[in-house]
Structures are given as C-alpha cells and as structure tokens.
Amino acid sequence: MASGYAWFLVLGSVFLCNLMKTLLPTISSFLTKMVQKDAEQESEMRAEVQVMKKEQASISMMDEFARYARLERKINKMTDKLKTHVKSRTAQQAKMKWVVNIVFYILQAALMVSLIWKYYSDPVTVVPSKWIAPVERLVAFPTGVAGGVGITCWLVVCNKVVSLGLHAVS
Amino acid sequence: MESGESGSLSAAQRRAEIRRRKLLMNSEDRMNRIVGFTKTESENNAGTLLRPAEPHFHLDLDRTEPWSSSSSSSQRPSPFPPESSGLGSRSHGATPERRGSPLPDCGEPPGGSLEDDAGGIRQRPRGERAPDDLGGSPRRGLQKYLSRFDDAMKLRGQLANEKPAQDGAPEVEEFDPFRIFRIIGSVLLAVFVRGFVCRFLSIFAPFLTLELAYMGLSKYFPKVEKKAQTTVLTAALLLSGIPAEVINRSMDTYRRMGDVFADLCVYFFTFILSHEILLLVGSETDGPPGSQ
C-alpha cells in the first residue's frame, strides 16, 4: 500500500525540477563565465577602444590627418577583433545553454521515469473511494487501488500547482 | 526604282520596328526576372480581379469581417507598373504600344487611358498570351503559393520578433484579479470540503458548483485583454486557410478549459494536502502507540 510520505516525495521532486528550470538561464551563464578564460580581455579591448575614440575626438582631422587616420585604423582593427571575440563568446554561450538544457531535461526525464517506476503499483496516498467518485479509476491509474491516488495523476497535479506557485512568486 | 527603294526602306523600317518592338516587349520581363519576380507573377498582377477570394494570412487575429472582403488587399505588389487590369478587359488582338513610336498603333489597346496614365504600362502581345491561357490554373496555383509564401515570410518575421519575449516563459499565465480570485476560491473550498463535506458526497460536486459560480461571476470582474500570441501553431493554422476568427474562438475555448483545469488541480492538491495534514495532526494527537 501507499508509503506514508510518497506524496511528499513526489511533490518535492516536482518542485525541485521546476525550480531548476527557472534557474537554468542563471546556471548556464554562470558556467559560461567559469569556462571562459578571456573574459577580461574583452573588457580591456572595449576600454582601449573607448580611450582611442576619446583621443580621436580630441584630434582635429584637418590639422593632424595622419595621426587621425592612424588612430582610425587602430580603432577599426580593435573593433574587428572585438567583434570576433564577441561572436565566439556568444557562440560559446549558446552552446553552453544548449548543453545545460539537454542535461537538465535528461535528468528530469530520468527522475520522472524512476518515480513512475517506483510508484507504478503503489498509490502515493489513499482516500475513501467514494470521495473521489466518479473518477476514482482515472485518479488511481495505474495502480488500480480503490481510492488511491496514482503517480501520474499526482505528478500532473503537482506540476501544475508548483508551476503556478513559482510563477506567482517570480 | 524609287517606289521599290521606298518599299524596301519601309520593309527595312518595318523589320527594324518589329525587332525594336520585340526587344521592348520583353524589357519588363527581363527586369522582373532580374529583381526576382517571375514572368507569371507580373502577368497575374493584372489578373487579380478574376482570382477567387483567398484567405488573408496576415496576423490580424482581431479581425472579424469575412475573408472575402479582404482578398483584394493581399496582393503581392510588383515593383514595376502593372499591366492593364483585368483579363477580360484585355483584347487578344492587342498590339504593343510604345512611347514615341514613329509608327501608328496597329490596334486599340484596351484601357488605353489607363496605360497613358500609368506611363509605361504595356500590353502583352497576342503571342505571349496564348500560353498563359493554357497554363491559367497552374499559374493561379503558383500565385496562390507565392502569396502564401509572402505571408509565411511575414509570419516568420513576426514570430522571430516575438520569440525573445516568449523564450523564457513558454506558458505565460498572467495573474489577473479574476484568476487570483479563482485560485483562492478553489483553495478555500477544498479546505472546507475536506473538513465538512467529503463524508457526504463526492468532492467534485462542490467543485463543479464552484466553476458554475465562476462562470456567472466572471462578468463582474474587469476583463483583461489578452494579447493574441503568435505561435508556430497559430501561424500554421492561418497558413493552412483556417480563418482567424475560428482560431481566436478555439484559443479562447482552450484558455477557458485551461483555467478550469488549473482550478481543478489546485482544488485537488489542496484537498489531498489538507487530508494528509489532518491525518498527521490526528496521528500526533493520538500519540505513539507505546505511550498509551
């Protein structure tokens, strides 16, 4: 028959999964920052470009054309380098996000399957069957126990309630 | 001699004229091909009046007027001036007309004033029209495909714009006051039913009564206009020819069903939770078996 706190275990698992899902973007950006070693280089390049632009703004193009043009070339070169850097960083970020999502969904699927496997024949909780008439069979699926709440029904209910709750909180 | 010479000149002139005419006739087609418009497309732009009413695929899910009235506004514009409008108004004996042609026109072009006004509108010669008549239905099918392709491109653009907004929240459930009221009502009813009612009848009977009450109470709450979300599904349904009104109503129905389902889940969850809490409290009140 139903173990005492099976309903709570399922509820906790669903809550954890939904919480992780909301935190996925944070996790993927954190992992990206950890993996990327040359993040400082980008900020240095940006600062350098800013400095050069300021210097260029202080130069008169008419009076010091050569210096102006030299600076312009340097700025363009640095900007191109920065763009390449940003592109590779963005690609890496997207890849990391994809990997994190895939891993999460695999883990979630494994958890759900294991819960269903564990409670396939045991209801998570039992109530008098006349309380949940006339849908007691549907609620009890797949256990077949009269008055029992099956794992599938409880998973669906918990999923909905937890997602509503987390959405309200966030 | 002179007459022969003049005859030959005029023959040469005629030949030159025919050559020039032939070149000028195809210039529009050449330009259309260069910019990516097919020949059939530019021809059928003028035949839009006779095309059957087609569904309008732009994402105006709020429109309620019938589709047939909007078909005329869904035409794909050609960058070049269209030919004379209406297949029926064309005469099969139309001859090409050019600006500044030294030769008089050989026939009256239909809708001549239109052509003059549009400046540069030409008519197709008879030779070019003959194959068109034979390939009328495939061309219409092609035109239909092209117009749907245009709509698909527009929808794709719109989806791409809306995608960043939807990326983080695939199920956007907005909590308007009525929704909050429903959820709270479901929770309170579940607790009440667990406490006093469940011994006498099924727990779903009070829930159904509650939902009926919500249906009646919904008109007393401020209505929140929900923005019609453009998803891949709605885009696919629109492109397949289903009217937007039908899609809107279906989405509305599904939304209502979703609300009822959410209420049911909250109700059932609260009921089970309160049942377990009561069991726990009851078992603690009774105390462990050894202590008695």
Q: Do B265 and A167 touch (CB under 8 A)?
A: no
**How far is C-alpha A43 from the chain's CA centre?**
26
Burial class of residue B189, CB neighbours in 10 A (0-12, 13-18, 19+) = buried
Is B225 within 8 Å of B44 (Cβ atoms)? no
DSSP states of B69-126: GGGGGGPPPPSS---SS-TTTS-TT-----TT-SSPPSSPPTTHHHHHHHSS-----H
Using the predicted structure, report yes or no on whether residue B251 has a pLDDT greater than 50.
Answer: yes
Is A147 within 8 Å of A132 (Cβ atoms)? yes
Nearest CA-CA distance, residue B255 and chain A, Å: 15
Q: Do B203 and A132 touch (CB under 8 A)?
A: yes
| B262 CB within 8 Å of a chain A CB | yes
Report which of residues B49 and B156 the model is more confident about: B156
Q: pLDDT tens, A45-95?
A: 888 889 888 888 888 888 888 888 888 998 999 999 999 988 988 898 899
Is B130 within 8 Å of B98 (Cβ atoms)? no
Q: Which residues of A touch B171 (CB under 8 A)?
A: 163
Is B84 within 8 Å of B111 (Cβ atoms)? yes
Q: pLDDT tens, B73-108?
A: 444 444 444 444 444 444 444 444 444 444 444 444
Q: What is the pTM of this model?
A: 0.59
Complex ipTM, two decimals?
0.80
Q: Which two tokens stand for residue A3?
A: 């173990």
Using the predicted structure, report yes or no on whether residue B115 has a pLDDT greater than 80.
Answer: no
Q: Which two tokens stand for residue B125?
A: 């010669």
The answer for residues whose C-beta is within 8 angstroms of residue B234's C-beta and 6 or more apart is B61, B228, B247, B251
| B284 CB within 8 Å of a chain A CB | no
Q: Which residues of B touch A7 (CB under 8 A)?
A: 272, 276
